[in-house]
């Protein structure tokens, strides 16, 4: 435990000699020390590499790894699934908790690929801020735009990092213009690049006017060496390269792009920093910015819209279920965002939907794939509950004062396939595996009387989700599956009176999701329009997404 946490714990123990828990003021103090954020980006923008670099600069790890593990560098700690290592992309979210400058950082890495946007949305429901990574050479890409829109809809403030400035790319002012015109986000640079993309010397610290010079380390596996100097010293060293950077920033500042904290918290504007995650350039500046500017955990609205204060008794919600993290035990972990109160391992909490008690004896802190026992947690922290078979994504747990947080909506699937066991003698493993993948949200699982229990329909936002399902079914559950694609591309929630009409048409049918929702699926928008003419108005309701 770091010195600040120990001091806070000792102070609380004096106030609460029985050790039963922290009172509201102490919980609020602990919450104020937390920063819980997600890193989001388009695929290949360097998101997992940045995650690793942040952990390196916080001294949570001794050496950074690259996604592809080139040379003597490891794979990133947040990419632990075999498919992630093989393909060099993140296909599942990961949690890393570490201490930095007296702050407890809960960093949630997210899948970059659009096929896994549903997992990213679940993560964004559990954070207080986001770091949006932009590739210097490509600017605002489609998935970047979509993820930002999710942040805007959820009221999550965004810090923008322009990555890969060590490589040739766009003009810095052009990227600022893209932020303004393409996603209607007001940029507020905190650092400004000295040198064009591909000729990166360091950054102008916009608050002090100083030059922060970066020096490469071998392979970028350790912290970059930084040297601070005055503007006059930088001009003597770099000449017009420095003065050009100063003039560009002065132009932005004079046109209203100076930092405004209220605009940032409102989501209308974003602080902007420049760097290179693979070389560890600009990473410490990002960490310092998160500690100084990102919001601490605050009151969260429950299902009725009433705020649940951080000092209220313990509450939290499940935003992710993940199995297969520990091959030795093949257990299943429920990731719970603590929303209020003081969590202590072993406490008995209540499952909001069932009213049943739930014990938390096997609570863990998560760092990528690595886990350790956690004895206590506070608002903003993420805890892992082992073998929590009774929990589902979106469930609420609470102590003392009843609360239920809003559920996390499912996206509308666009790809469908019938799943069958490749070996008929493994139906038990097949059923268990399909059920668990559905509970985790890897795919949505749909059923119909027409097809029967042995031929469920898997539904996905993107086809790569099917690859993950097939891989995990074979390697984790011992039941390889065959997938038979269905020619559907549109899904709508359907009213009961319209079900017979849908099932009577070609190119359409009704399937039932595992949560009981009846879903009508159609081959295309023309088939949907044709059926709509013959059913009562309002029979079809768009599914979230």
pLDDT in tens, 502-512: 999 999 999 99
Q: Read off the pLDDT of residues 169-194 as tens digits, 9 standing for 90 and up.
A: 999 999 999 999 999 999 999 999 99
Phi, psi of 187 (to 5 degrees): -80, 140
Please report which confidence band the pLDDT of residue 264 belongs to, taking 50, 70 and 90 as the band edges.
very high
Task: Please give the angle made by the CA atoms of 497, 500 and 503, to the nearest 5 degrees.
Answer: 135
User: What's the CA gap between 299 and 405, in Å, rounded?
Assistant: 12
Strand 348-351 to strand 357-359: parallel, antiparallel, or no bridges (unpaired)? antiparallel
pLDDT of residue 416: 96
- Distance, CA of 376 to CA of 394 (rounded, Å): 22
- What's the angle, vertex CA 105, arms to CA 166 and CA 32, rounded to 5? 130
> For 397-455, how does the pLDDT look when each residue is reduced to its tens digit (9 = 90+)?
999 999 999 998 777 889 999 999 999 888 899 999 999 888 888 899 999 888 888 89
Mean pLDDT of 238-262: 95
Domains and CATH numbers, the chain: 34-293 (3.40.50.300), 300-398 (3.40.50.300), 415-542 (3.30.70.3280)
pTM for this model (two decimals):
0.82
Give yes or no for residue 117 having a pLDDT over 70: no
Q: What is the structure's pLDDT at 94?
A: 73
Least confident of 4-18, 135-149, 307-321, 336-350: 4-18
Per-residue pLDDT, averaged over 92-99, amounts to 78
Q: Using CA atoms, how far apart are residues 117 and 120, in angstroms rounded to an integer?
A: 5
Was 110 annotated as part of a binding site? yes
Tell me how far apart the alpha carbons of residues 128 and 156 are, in angstroms, rounded to a whole number. 6
Please indicate whether residue 238 or residue 328 has the higher confidence score (pLDDT). Answer: 238
Tracing tokens 């100097």 back to the chain, one arrives at 229
Instruction: Please report the pLDDT score of residue 275 as a whole number.
Output: 95
> Is 75 assigned a ligand-binding role in the annotation?
no
Residue 113, annotated as binding a ligand: yes
Q: How far apart are the C-alpha atoms of 39 and 37, rounded to whole Å?
A: 7
Which pairing describes strands 158-163 and 129-135: parallel, antiparallel, or unpaired? parallel
CA-closest candidate to residue 333, choices 355, 316, 318: 318
> Is pLDDT at 153 greater than 70 in this prediction?
yes
Query: Which range, 5-9, 78-82, 151-155, 183-187, is most confident?
Result: 183-187
What is the mean predicted confidence (pLDDT) over 335-362?
95
What are the distances in angstroms from CA 466 to CA 452, 456, 459, 462, 471? 20, 13, 9, 8, 9
Q: Do 103 and 109 meet the contact criterion of CB atoms below 8 Å apart?
A: no
Show the tokens assigned to 398: 């609470």
Does the structure show a pLDDT above 80 at 85? no
Residue 301 marked as a ligand binder: no
Mean pLDDT, the chain, integer: 86
- Say if CB 381 and CB 34 are below 8 A apart: yes
């Amino acid at each position: 435990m770091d010195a600040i946490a120990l001091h806070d714990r000792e102070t609380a123990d004096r106030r609460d000699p029985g050790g039963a828990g922290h009172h509201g003021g102490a919980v609020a103090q602990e919450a104020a020390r937390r920063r819980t954020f997600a890193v989001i980006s388009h695929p290949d923008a360097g998101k997992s590499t940045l995650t690793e670099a942040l952990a390196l600069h916080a001294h949570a790890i001794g050496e950074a790894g690259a996604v592809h593990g080139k040379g003597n560098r490891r794979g990133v700690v947040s990419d632990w699934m075999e498919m992630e290592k093989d393909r060099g992309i993140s296909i599942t979210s990961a949690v890393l908790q570490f201490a930095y400058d007296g702050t407890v950082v809960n960093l949630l890495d997210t899948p970059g690929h659009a096929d896994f946007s549903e997992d990213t949305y679940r993560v964004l429901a559990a954070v207080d801020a986001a770091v949006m990574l932009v590739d210097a050479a490509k600017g605002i890409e489609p998935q970047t735009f979509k993820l930002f829109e999710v942040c805007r809809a959820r009221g999550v403030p965004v810090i923008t990092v322009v990555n890969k400035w060590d490589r040739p790319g766009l003009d810095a002012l052009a990227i600022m213009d893209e932020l303004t015109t393409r996603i209607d986000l007001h940029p507020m640079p905190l650092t400004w690049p000295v040198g064009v993309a591909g000729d990166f010397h360091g950054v102008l610290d916009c608050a002090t006017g100083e030059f922060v010079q970066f020096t490469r380390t071998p392979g970028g596996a350790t912290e970059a060496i930084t040297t601070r100097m005055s503007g006059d010293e930088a001009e003597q060293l770099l000449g017009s390269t420095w003065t050009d950077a100063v003039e560009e920033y002065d132009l932005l500042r004079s046109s209203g792009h100076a930092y405004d904290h209220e605009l940032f918290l409102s989501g209308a504007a974003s602080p902007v920093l420049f760097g290179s995650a693979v070389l560890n350039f600009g990473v410490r500046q990002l960490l310092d910015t998160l500690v100084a500017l990102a919001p601490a955990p605050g009151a969260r609205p429950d299902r009725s819209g009433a705020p649940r204060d951080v000092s209220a008794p313990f509450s939290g919600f499940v935003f992710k279920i993940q199995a297969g993290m520990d091959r030795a035990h093949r257990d299943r972990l429920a990731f719970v965002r603590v929303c209020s109160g003081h969590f202590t391992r072993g406490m008995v909490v209540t499952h909001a939907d069932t009213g049943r008690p739930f014990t938390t004896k096997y609570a863990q802190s998560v760092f990528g794939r690595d886990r350790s026992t956690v004895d206590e947690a506070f608002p903003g922290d993420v805890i892992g509950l082992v073998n929590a078979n009774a929990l589902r994504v979106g469930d609420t747990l609470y102590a003392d004062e009843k609360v239920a947080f809003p559920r996390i909506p499912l996206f509308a699937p666009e790809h469908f396939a019938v799943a069958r066991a490749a070996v008929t003698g493994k139906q038990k493993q097949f059923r268990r595996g399909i059920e668990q993948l559905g509970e985790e949200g890897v795919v949505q699982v749909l059923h119909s009387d027409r097809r029967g229990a042995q031929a469920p329909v898997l539904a996905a936002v993107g086809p790569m989700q099917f690859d993950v399902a097939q891989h995990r079914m074979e390697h984790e559950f011992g039941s390889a599956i065959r997938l038979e694609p269905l020619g559907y591309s549109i899904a709508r929630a359907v009213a009961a009176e319209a079900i017979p009409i849908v099932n009577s048409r070609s190119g359409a049918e009704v399937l039932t999701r595992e949560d009981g929702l009846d879903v009508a699926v159609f081959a295309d928008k023309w088939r949907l329009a044709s059926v709509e003419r013959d059913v009562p108005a309002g029979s079809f309701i768009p599914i979230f997404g």
